[in-house]
Amino acid sequence: MPERTRTSDLQVRNLTLYPLSYGHVREVAEREGFEPSEEETPFNGLANRRTRPLCDLSTQAADDSMEPSGRRARTLLQPDPQHLRRDPAVQRVPIIAQSPSPTFIEAVLRAAFEAGGQQVEFERWERKPHQLPDAIAELKAGDYAGALVVAPHKEKAAALMTSLSEDAKLTGAVSVAVRDGERLRGYNADVDGVRAGLVAILPKVQGKWPRNAIVLGAGGGARAVVSVLISSGFQRIAVFNRHLHRAEALVGHFTRSARHMDLRAMPWHETIIEAELARTGLLVNTTAIGIGEGETPIADEALPENLFVLDLVLDHATTPLMRQAKERGGTAANGQASFLRASAETYRLLTGGDADESVLRQALAAEIGVPAEGLAVVVGD
């Protein structure tokens, strides 16, 4: 059997070597997220035995391309501080999500930062719900301007902030966290977005707005919708979700602020939805149903006439739900105007300045693959 390569035998680039005891090396290995080997050398297989991505030993440190140097020494590998220095002018903004996939908000905000002459480094943090507390703790301790919080973390993140804005407090959800020293203040820019989307389709005079509404979904976006509807004087709001307990949790959160009106959780059943639609004037879809071509959350025959519809789908100019509403004399809009307004508010919270809205529109259009002139179109009257 060929002799196994020891990590301490590796030729290291851009590292300073410090002789240490075996016990010290093992302690550091465990602290930095490496799994000590049962062999004598504690860093055996350093490049492929990492158990947690807690430290960066890539191009400046250990990687799979290292080769044996022929020397044996018990050493601690420490990156040269020169290679860890960051430009203080660069703002670091993690995007805390359950998936590492690129997001529209990242592309749009990056364009806004660049247009404003500011440097930003977005970091995609893939975190499961149970990992969120550790992510927030890291955010508080690190050199970050703030963070974007993406579903499904918005509700849980609210409980981990140092303080909350009024909108975040009312909704119990956070879409953006802003650093102030080691303190984190949570905000909910989704509320601004939803308000802009409703203003785009409802009558100019708020006194003429309908008083009954249906909300489909029970996530962070739905919380923003319910918050705006309550503050706008709606008298009845029915929240439908395929998992009834989630709708009940949303309703329970708003118990105090909704005590003057009728807010209720409803099971997702076609007959019940159709009966509720017969008495409502506004329908808001916050679910992912409609993202796929031809998908709609409501059967064609169930929609009443003259209904206002806000379908918070982003990458379709017109969805089947919007088309159905228009065919029955209603007014409908997609989620693009809401997204752009929420993006502008997020930029303001992170920088203290105003984003160039034309830059936001052009960036979103480029991501979706449509002309900027085709964004945020109100369909109907």
Q: Which residues are part of the catalytic machinery?
A: 154
Map tokens 């959160």 to a residue: 253
Q: CA-CA distance, 69 to 46, in Å (whole number)? A: 15
Counting Cα atoms < 13 Å in the Cβ hemisphere of 71 gives 9
Query: 306's torsion region: left (phi>0), alpha (psi -120 to 50) or beta?
Result: left
Map tokens 């997220």 to a residue: 33
Q: What is the DSSP letter of 372?
A: G
> Crossing angle, helix 244-253 and helix 220-231, to 10 degrees?
40
CA-angle at 20, arms to 19 and 21, nearest 5°: 140
Q: Which of 113, 109, 138 is nearest to 125 (CA)?
A: 138
Q: Which of 154, 152, 151, 90 is nearest to 123 (CA)?
A: 90
* Other CB atoms within 10 Å distance of the CB of residue 183: 11
Q: CA-CA distance, 290 to 297, in Å (whole number)? A: 7
Q: CA-CA distance, 185 to 100, in Å (whole number)? A: 24
Pair 272, 245: CB distance under 8 Å: no
